[in-house]
Amino acid sequence: MARHYLDHASTSPLRPEASEAIRRWLTSSAGDPARVHEEGRAVRAAIEDARDQVAALFGTRARQVVFTSGATESVHAAVWGATWDRPDGAILCAGVEHSAVRDASARLARIVDLHVDPFGRIDPAQVASLLRDAPATALVHCQWANHEVGTLQPVADVVAAARSAGVPVHADAAAAAGHVPIDLGNDTAPDFVAVSSHKLGGPPGTGALVLGRKVRIEPLLVGSSQERARRAGMENALGIVGFGAAAGALQATLADEALASRGFTERIADAVLGVPGTVRVGDPVGRVPHIVCFGVSGVEAEPVLLGLDRAGIAAHSGSACASESFEPSPVLAAMGADPSHSLRLSTGWSTTDQDVAALAAAFPGVVSGLRALR
């Protein structure tokens, strides 16, 4: 049976450009990029070329890019960098943020919850109001786009409100990077932006923290002076090279891929919403193009996912039974949606018409069969 992968928001398959860059790297000589010998200089050059590619994708300067092990580490580094010298400072954070953001924040500071609307979007006016009332605030979180429902956040407006109060902003861009244009070379860019390689078709195990032009950060990992003394530990050159190649490819293809993904997800929405008892969750317009989320009444998420899997389709849900956690999705709970009946479908660079057609053909029968068992 042919397989149809519609879970790119969890991880996207490795792009051919990244695969080829990694293949070439595996056949080259090894060296410590911190050494002055020829082998070390060659590795350093490869890392810096990749840094240039990642920086170019996000419209920023290469020296603002700090390579990490992934978005989770980038998030922790941002939270630590913003709060290590402000132990009494609060952090503004919505319930729709990724668990890495909320958990990293809760370890180091008191969280002040931001409300969200039914689409999962925060209100910049509330941010401004809270900052006026809480001058000790150390950091504001504003994800670029939600990882479960796809809703885009008003990042520039939140940055403007926070900057007026002298408070830095962190944006988790793992769900948005490589799917919508992100320009970090202007005055509305957040102070910290976390990016993941594997979400955009690069290899897992690498990512980046992109710093604002004037941001100086106390490193989370200490012990040596890699990444301009901002992240200790020998760089994952293999992963970084693949990440750079994926970013380089996206500079030419992002607009076309976003247009294709928007078309695919709208066709998916038509198919899913054609089944009675289904509703769309998240903003249908102001969203990243590759993610759509639905509520499906009358059936739990896990049987739907298993039914789709038997039909050859990979999907995801915010339900506890379909994740590593035993807790229901805090994202959907914060939005007032039912996490036990959610279905997330996401497309990417490798999605085809056949993938969407397979979902459209299988979904009605899976749901009707499960409902008949009640």
Nearest to 155 by CA among 170, 147, 166, 144: 144
Contact 167, 133 (CB under 8 A): no
Q: Any idea which residues carry the catalytic annotation?
A: 321
Contact 18, 242 (CB under 8 A): yes
Contact 6, 315 (CB under 8 A): yes
CA 179 to chain CA centroid, nearest Å: 10
Q: What are phi and psi of 364, to 5 degrees?
A: -60, -40
The two tokens of residue 338 are 């039912």
- How far CA 241 is from CA of 27, 35, 211, 257, in Å, comes to 13, 18, 20, 22
As a whole number of angstroms, the distance between CA 106 and CA 78 comes to: 13
* DSSP conformation letters of 149-217: T-BBP-HHHHHHHHHHTT--EEEE-TTTBTTB----SSTTS-SEEEEESTTTTS-TT-EEEEEPTT---
As a whole number of angstroms, the distance between CA 119 and CA 269 comes to: 16
As a whole number of angstroms, the distance between CA 127 and CA 324 comes to: 31
